[in-house]
Structure 1
């Protein structure tokens, strides 16, 4: 049975001629929810709009693509810590959330985040959130460790991995040295901790596909990872368990935005509303997804679902430190430290 949302979209499609149907161009990580075949087919049937994708491999690449390709994209996935920068550069258009039926399910702590300007204009719709921590190969560990110290355990030398991302690495180092991720006071301690990690590292991973291939080949015992990706990896049959350790973990929020130069803003808003629909999310979650920023979607999950059972646990949530925007000077400082550490490996 169709939801009221799907019925309203179907009515919209029936009232529109084929000439009014748009091609919506989406920029996102590959395999990250917006490009699911079954969802795109249903969306096209309901609205008449088609969706094509282009992908990026880093947030910096995403920003560069928007800067250098005006008019090329209609929906772009932007992590909340990059949203203020993209907004200040004029890359994003304000979004009328009253036109989004499913926006009512977004709780205030997400809706009033860095996606909103001081004047109250919304430049990103909270879509998914999750945790960066680590996952282990369950064929190696019994019991599963509850501490970041496992990354430094000599027993796993040469079978550890960390993502090749300077900010993320520095924040992992901050957690491991008992510091806050958004205001690192003792950079020397973080540098020393990461320097000690380098001999442990088998490789630096860059994409979910990379991570899965190494884990499937049995080359990782433990590696930093994203919660939603770990859920997908487990759904694929990999022997993976995600851990939110006692030291804490990095929380992040991803938003769906509409570029200022989009020529299909109304259709883009319809697609965003589709992506935050609980009916879509519950089906996606069964395949492995990050947590939904829509509370109605989260509540619709089965109680055994990872994103309800684990991330919905107040004790786990209390250990998560959510990222705040990183200024250019700090980002450059982190990059220089990270590059020097890798070069000396």
Structure 2
């Protein structure tokens, strides 16, 4: 172990705030082990992340990207190939994640799988004697004015697709999606944008149920002791894969490789889950290191759950514009 010197190489990381990579204890451990000084910056949406990469060329050394957006970052020459031979823990990434076509192109790796999880629904335990099993609970009049949904057009449209019995990556009937989401709007209390928003609302007993990320629900219960339970509806849930990439122009590629290796290490992951709560690691050895009854092993690893989740695929610019237009129209109608 080595202490960080005054002239230690800075490592600029772009990520969601409060998402593992900026945990103070993790940053401290990484800095002591490698001598690299971590400087974190944050974004609140994938579009903001892409904008920061475009407008700050050469500033960032590591960026966390939802794999569905990796192709867009690559098409815009915002990220560079990664030499996985220099990332020891890469060998333990599950094959389906490591070989994802969203992260690989022309025999080169542009994203190292980190964690995956679900956008499902989470409930305020105080509002339910027994957890619901169907997505239809969001439309239940008993919860009118106490339902929330994330303010994200792509996520909302995909949620509507699941609610209308469709494939999120091949929506055949957009009118059915619009109709389903339109009927949901009178139920909505607000549109949330951050994990802190969601947690504060449930802490003050303002909401009963809402869309939420699996890792966030785990953190709400583990770290903040909130009455929150994740529900993976029988109709299904949206699954996503987050990966680390190295931006073009990075001044500290060596540090980036070391950081990515640390973040997919089983020791870090188990501590992250235990102390904070986290999504599912893409590293098979990391998941296997959890207790057998751990949520990310027992539930998220359940084949019955796997059968009803749908992983996000890349969305075209045309689709994104369509989704945004629909979502903006729905929100205006809800006001």
Q: Using the alignment, how far apart are the partners of 1:277 and 1:204 within structure 2?
A: 35
**Residue 234 (1) aligns with residue 228 (2):** no
- Structure 2 gaps, min length 5: none
Q: Which residue number in structure 2 is paired with residue 251 of structure 1?
A: 239
* Counterpart pick for 1:274 among 262, 266, 269: 262
Given that residues 80 and 114 in structure 1 are in contact (C-alpha distance below 8 angstroms), is that contact kept between their aligned partners in structure 2? no
How far apart, CA to CA, are the structure 2 residues paired with 1:118 and 1:174?
A: 29
Shift of 1:29: 0.5
CA contact (8 A) 1:167 1:335 kept: yes
Offset, 1:305: 1.4
How far 1:142 sits from its partner (Å)? 1.5
Deviations 1:184-218 (A, max 9, x none): 00000000000000000000000000000111010
**Alignment partner of 1:66 is 2:57:** no
Q: 2:273 aligns with which of 285, 298, 304?
A: 285
1:141-220 equivalences in 2 (<5 Å): 141-220=128-207
Cα separation, 2, equivalents of 1:104 and 1:184? 36
> 2:328 maps to which residue?
339
TM-score, L = length of structure 2: 0.97
1:139 is paired with a residue of what secondary structure?
helix
1:276-307 alpha-carbon deviations (Å, 9 max, x no partner): 00000000011200110111100000112111
Distance 1:118 1:71, change over 3 A: closer
- 8 Å CA contact 2:133–2:231 kept in 1: the answer is yes
Find out whether 1:264 has 2:276 as its counterpart: no
The offset of 1:318, in angstroms, is 1.1
Q: 2:91 aligns with which of 81, 86, 104?
A: 104
**Cα gap change, 1:103 to 1:20, in 2 (>3 Å):** farther
Matched with 1:118 is 105
Pairing 1:303–2:292 present: yes
**SS of the residue aligned with 2:91?**
helix
Aligned equivalents of 1:143, 1:210: Cα separation in 2: 25
Question: Residues 84 and 114 of structure 1 are in contact (CA less than 8 Å); yes or no, is this contact kept in structure 2?
Answer: no
- Structure 1 portions without partners, runs of 5+: 1-9
**Which secondary structure state, in structure 2, belongs to the residue aligned with residue 219 of structure 1?**
coil
Instruction: Give the distance between the partners of 2:104 and 2:299, measured in 1 at CA.
Output: 32
Counterpart contact for 1:71–1:263, Cα < 8 Å: yes
**Residue 81 of structure 1: SS of its match in structure 2?**
helix
Classify the secondary structure of the residue corresponding to 1:283: helix
* Residues 83 and 114, structure 1, Cα contact 8 Å, conserved in 2: no
Q: Which of 290, 304, 310 lines up with 1:315 in the alignment?
A: 304
With over 3 angstroms needed to count, the CA separation of the structure-2 counterparts of 1:265 and 1:148, relative to structure 1, is same
Q: CA deviation at 1:53?
A: 0.5
Q: Which residue of 2 aligns with 1:33?
A: 20
Confirm or deny: 8 A CA contact 2:11 2:36 kept in the other structure. Answer: yes
CA distance in 2: counterparts of 1:18 and 1:145, whole angstroms? 53
In the alignment, the residues of structure 2 paired with residue 291 and residue 73 of structure 1 have an alpha-carbon distance, to the nearest angstrom, of 25
Partner of 2:119: 132
Deviation at 1:114, TM superposition (A): 3.4
Deviation at 1:171, TM superposition (A): 0.7
Distance in 2 separating the partners of 1:140 and 1:267: 47
Segments of 4+ in structure 1 off by > 6 A?
none
Instruction: Please tell me whether residue 21 in structure 1 is matched to residue 8 in structure 2.
Output: yes
The CA distance in 1 between the partners of 2:206 and 2:166, in whole Å, is 30
User: What per-residue deviation string (whole Å, max 9, x for no partner) do you get for residues 77-99 of structure 1?
Assistant: 10000000101111001000011
1:80, 1:51 → 2: CA distance?
23
C-alpha distance in 2, partners of 1:130/1:230?
11
In structure 1, C-alpha distance between the alignment counterparts of 2:218 and 2:64, rounded to whole Å? 20
**Residues in 2 aligned to 1:295 and 1:153: alpha-carbon distance in whole angstroms:** 39
**Could you tell me whether the CA contact under 8 Å between 1:81 and 1:114 is conserved in 2?**
no
